[in-house]
Amino acid sequence: MDRDVFYIPGFDPRSYKFYYSMFKHNVYKTSGVDNDKISITKLNDQDIPNFEINYKNFCTKYSFFDWSDIVIKHFYKRFFAVFIAFFMFLKNYIFKGIHLKLIKHATTQTITGGYYVLLFFIITYLILAFILCALNGVIQNPILYTFCCLVIAYFGTKFIYFLANKTGVFWLLSIYNFCYDYAVKKPQELDEKITNFANVITANLKENQGKNHETIIIAHSVGGIIAVSLVSRIINLCKAQNISTDNLKLILLGACMPLSSLHTNIITFKKELEILANSNITCLNLTSKIDGASFYKLDYIKLADIKAKSPKFISVRFFKIYTQKTYKKLRYNWYEVHFLYLKATEIRGGYDYFYLVADPKNLESKLN
């Protein structure tokens, strides 16, 4: 058997070079593979960047779907753009009641995601308002008081902006708004990338049809939403060309599908979910209970009222693959936990990303 892996990162402005570096840094440290038997080639900078992994006389070609250029365009950083982004977040998730659906089924994730953003702005601006009110009792001159209020409000807002940038508020705002926009109407540039990538993977399936071959799509975080569109197009292309999809497999790591699938005006995205759910391809959803940026074992197919089989949900128990000392440090670091799916483990025997990718055994046998 041989294998092709196509990796889709999450909503991250860092390019495929960062993810190659992360892979290279962690693959030789992980517990699930024999380090003296594994090697990886240099990154091949082509239209679809890739490298090869050699392990136990078995070769895996690992390719990247790079959409960091589009993430940068949808990442809120400018001062006034942040306020527009916050208003859109209120409009699309809070006022429409999406947060109520989310908190009912995923309380922790809704608090650490959506409510965290909401509370950050409410609390910081209440503190700023309290300072301005307190100033009224200190400065009696109305002209001086107005001037001081304007200065404090300006620099206070600048400080809030600084805090929001450091604490990931802008990142979360960008993710929420991107997921809504994507579900309603995909950015054209991203839609073209998905189409091109679908053609590449369809050609790969055609070339390896009838062979002992695995074509695995792995998507992390928001990349899982893109993977739904990608796989649905591959399935349609394969049907039109009479190509088997038996070798096609999908792994979703820390996915946040409900951020797109729970909206009401998502006809195209819901259809793509239906195509995926009604297909015969292996679809595995891996999430962790301590990952505050994904939705732990949440059945997004059922929640979207799609009449189809649900994918297989698998719990990643990080406490079993890290020492007690390491786990204690990571337990409440939600940002770090969200990337643990892609990093080296310390204890052999549980989930290991590099074992899934590189080991000669087929995917299903590794997760049983």
Q: Report the pLDDT value the prediction gives residue 218, as an integer from 0 to 100.
A: 98
pLDDT value of position 165: 80
Number of C-beta neighbours around residue 139 at 10 A: 14
pLDDT one-digit tens code per residue, 17-35: 999 999 999 999 999 999 8
CB of 258 closer than 8 Å to CB of 298: yes
Q: Hey, what amino acid is at 299?
A: D
Q: Which residue has the higher pLDDT, 49 or 309?
A: 49
Query: Residue 2: CB partners within 8 Å, gap ≥ 6?
Result: 58, 59, 60, 208, 211, 212, 213, 214
Higher pLDDT, 16 or 336: 16
pLDDT above 70: percentage of residues in the chain: 98
CA distance 56 to 160: 53
Q: pLDDT of 182-224, one tens digit each? A: 988 888 999 999 999 999 999 999 999 988 899 999 999 999 9
Taking the model in full, what pTM does it have?
0.90
Architecture of domain 2-69+199-366: 3-Layer(aba) Sandwich (3.40)
The domain limits of the chain are 2-69+199-366, 75-178
Q: Please compute the mean of the pLDDT values over residues 52-70 and round it to a whole number.
A: 95
Distance CA 188, CA 181 (A): 11
- Choose the weakest-confidence range: 135-149, 211-225, 241-255: 135-149
Q: Convert the pLDDT of each residue in 93-113 to its tens digit.
A: 888 877 777 777 777 777 766
Mean pLDDT of 59-78: 91
Higher pLDDT, 291 or 237: 237
- The answer to whether residues 320 and 349 touch, using CB atoms and an 8 Å cutoff, is yes
Binning pLDDT at 50, 70 and 90, where does residue 368 land?
Answer: low
